[in-house]
Structure 1
């Protein structure tokens, strides 16, 4: 029996972001593995307000541990970021890790640094060393740069720019050192493979796609009536949805201004926002009754919201994958995405199953929205093709677990070059 520990140093709750949801889905898939499947014992570690164990099957469990130094102690972007643990060492996790054979890093803070230091110590001491695997889920350096600008505020833009550049450089070096300690690094896109190949070696980089829960996310013509009844969203006009953190890392200011321009041109489009963050108040001021803010939603409610809307507009360039795009397509929405973003990987026929916007300007995004809203036949065709693409080409979580994750865990990989960083450099 191979014991795998997956380290997700983010708080788990009902409205957690895509990183947490990803590993919840993988754990559920692992719990469904038949008895004849490879012998795997899986534990996924999250952060939480208390230590707690949730058992999904005799071989799969989710454990939450209290953070040592939660990032909530910082004054930041008014709820724009996920809560992680900034401590350099997590004693409770350190006590639990030796029971596992494979330590899978998914972030770059307390859990990851604890694991890498323990592995280095075991190797240096000549004892049995764990196998280290990593997967990339979030572009933390890019997010940190945006949050640094939030912290500086509008009064100190120059200081914010300098702070942002420094934070991004330091966190990117830190990320690369942690990844270089791992025998294999899993990324969601071929572009991600190309980016990290010079950092850790091409032989150590492999794909870890994201799955879609097709039973949960699907078209539903009755959903709009429920959305209108529950939240007062107008049902008689095109609904543009945005789901995720309401901040600049996701491109929300660009989208809000684009929608404002479309409305000013006389088109009664309505923006629906699912999430929370620093840009919530500015959106309310800019769009007034033209926007409905739903707040963070659990997956089942979010699936209903997807199916109730017409367009999913997602200007974010910080995504490593963008599972929200796949969920929206499965729900039958026409997606608008920035050219060159990782999220465009979900499209098989750009222009037909989704729209790619070529410039990150309000004018370009407003024009793309208008092009769909003013042509109902085209909007219907794009929505239909998006649902077909999702159904026929986007893999399930069970398939990704079997084809991408299990091989990385079950079969040790001997890289041609590996440099384990010293503990003091974390």
Structure 2
């Protein structure tokens, strides 16, 4: 497929027998991008390593950027960055979060580029997705592209959390969150859910991240159109490393003589990082000495610092190579978030030999093969419940290390590589969706 962006050379046309797939990731791609973007970076890397003559795949991942440009990973794999038509940056700055998307109802530049692809793969619910669905509805049914969607983020839950966070910043508006059925945050979340459901109904196939989500979406689309999209782990990059602890202390000044609790993710209310900080503060009052290491950035950074003072180290966002060393240098990993659809950071932590502590009700529990042995699930999802769970591991170092070894074993034996997921979960779905060209009827209403 030929794509020409300003000040870049056009990409080489796809071979005529290649399956041309456009993946629409309407998020800003940069060094601080979250797990959604990183997921597609890993899939693109896997596709670039894949034997071209065997895969027959030409992959373009569309993302948002400050200017339009093309980044080639291989002759058949590339990222194309497009400027947003209506950036959410002002709204996100007001909320205090870092994810930037495009709120426009239609992206005109993307609309020019999409017709050259056989399959359009939606991964979000904003400008790119609405543009693809609008074009598909207008296309001749005999020639329209196959439509696929994958669910990477619980957008309704995030929309509700961000609304609550924004209202809390404005004096007098917090009462809008106090309605018996959830108030304005609940309403915003429901509107986001309805939008998501409308979009996935238009798709030939939908990929979900867990069996529970497969059932939820199958009730909307029909179970025959839903399948599982796992996440992979780079086992070469993420692995135990005994030397990492001293490196972490030397580079970032973390204490060598205290247990290190690691949090990785957006540092805001949607990840419930403040609950983790409050739990650690309780442990300090009981005479324990855990130290929190935070990788990420967000509105709750100041709150965490006020709660823990010198007992927290903020590292900010870390590239994958350095992040692997941070995991390996800590003692346990804690993620109180309820909004993850997968939580790839959990798999990365386990691969590095860390016991993981997760909410019992969260989707992240799917990474555990034997809860209680390779990770700990918190049933009492409160400050005190988390304090007790952490205390159990912090005060029993032998049990903590045994759980970490079991976590690493689970990662090695049960968590697939990105290449395997590409071959088993994505390529068959893309090939099947491409067959809709020439035999598809009108899109579903």
Give TM class, smaller chain. over 0.9
* Counterpart residue number, 2:428: 407
* 1:38 CA drift (Å): 3.0
* 1:385 is aligned to 2:406: yes
Select the residue among 321, 329, 338 that pairs with 2:359: 338
* 1:368 CA drift (Å): 0.7
* Counterpart residue number, 2:5: none
* Structure 2 portions without partners, runs of 5+: 1-17
* Counterpart residue number, 1:208: 229
Question: 1: distance between equivalents of 2:235 and 2:415?
Answer: 9
* Counterpart residue number, 1:351: 372
The Cα RMSD (Å) is 1.6
Task: Name the SS for the 1:37 alignment partner.
Answer: helix
* Counterpart residue number, 2:176: 159
Task: Determine if contact 1:141/1:169 at 8 Å carries over to the other structure.
Answer: yes
Change (3 A) 1:318 1:221: same
* 1:170 is aligned to 2:191: yes
Task: Determine if contact 2:95/2:166 at 8 Å carries over to the other structure.
Answer: no
Question: 1: distance between equivalents of 2:52 and 2:318?
Answer: 35
Task: Determine if contact 2:92/2:99 at 8 Å carries over to the other structure.
Answer: no
Select the residue among 128, 135, 139 that pairs with 2:150: 135
* Counterpart residue number, 1:31: 48
Render the CA deviation track for 1:353-393: whole Å, top value 9, x for unaligned: 00011011111111111111111110110011001110111
Question: 2: distance between equivalents of 1:357 and 1:3?
Answer: 44
* 1:187 is aligned to 2:202: no
Task: Determine if contact 1:122/1:128 at 8 Å carries over to the other structure.
Answer: yes
Question: 1: distance between equivalents of 2:45 and 2:441?
Answer: 33
* 1:78 CA drift (Å): 4.6
Question: 2: distance between equivalents of 1:279 and 1:322?
Answer: 19
Select the residue among 415, 437, 441 that pairs with 1:394: 415
Question: 2: distance between equivalents of 1:307 and 1:101?
Answer: 42
Select the residue among 51, 68, 75 that pairs with 1:51: 68
Question: 2: distance between equivalents of 1:355 and 1:133?
Answer: 35
Task: Determine if contact 1:90/1:111 at 8 Å carries over to the other structure.
Answer: yes
Render the CA deviation track for 1:160-199: whole Å, top value 9, x for unaligned: 4522112111110000000000000001111110111111
* 1:113 is aligned to 2:141: no
* Counterpart residue number, 2:302: 281
Render the CA deviation track for 1:13-61: whole Å, top value 9, x for unaligned: 1221110011011111111111441311110000011111111111111
Question: 2: distance between equivalents of 1:82 and 1:115?
Answer: 21
Change (3 A) 1:182 1:366: same
Task: Determine if contact 2:65/2:83 at 8 Å carries over to the other structure.
Answer: yes
* Structure 1 portions without partners, runs of 5+: none
Task: Determine if contact 1:258/1:363 at 8 Å carries over to the other structure.
Answer: yes
Task: Give the TM-score, by structure 1 length.
Answer: 0.95
Question: 1: distance between equivalents of 2:94 and 2:276?
Answer: 19
Task: Name the SS for the 2:139 alignment partner.
Answer: helix
Task: Determine if contact 2:165/2:269 at 8 Å carries over to the other structure.
Answer: no
Task: Determine if contact 1:326/1:346 at 8 Å carries over to the other structure.
Answer: yes
* 1:71 is aligned to 2:92: no
* Counterpart residue number, 1:122: 139
Task: Determine if contact 2:159/2:189 at 8 Å carries over to the other structure.
Answer: yes
Task: Name the SS for the 1:321 alignment partner.
Answer: coil
Question: 2: distance between equivalents of 1:75 and 1:54?
Answer: 26
Question: 1: distance between equivalents of 2:20 and 2:217?
Answer: 27
Number of residues of Structure 1 aligned to a counterpart in Structure 2: 418
Task: Determine if contact 1:31/1:59 at 8 Å carries over to the other structure.
Answer: yes
* 1:144 is aligned to 2:159: yes
Render the CA deviation track for 1:69-122: whole Å, top value 9, x for unaligned: 110122655532410000011010000000001000000000000000000010
* Counterpart residue number, 1:293: 314
Select the residue among 233, 247, 256 that pairs with 2:254: 233
Task: Determine if contact 2:26/2:63 at 8 Å carries over to the other structure.
Answer: yes
* 1:240 CA drift (Å): 0.1
Question: 1: distance between equivalents of 2:443 and 2:174?
Answer: 38
Task: Give the TM-score, by structure 2 length.
Answer: 0.91
Task: Determine if contact 2:350/2:407 at 8 Å carries over to the other structure.
Answer: yes
* 1:340 CA drift (Å): 2.2
Question: 2: distance between equivalents of 1:48 and 1:244?
Answer: 21
Task: Determine if contact 1:181/1:418 at 8 Å carries over to the other structure.
Answer: no
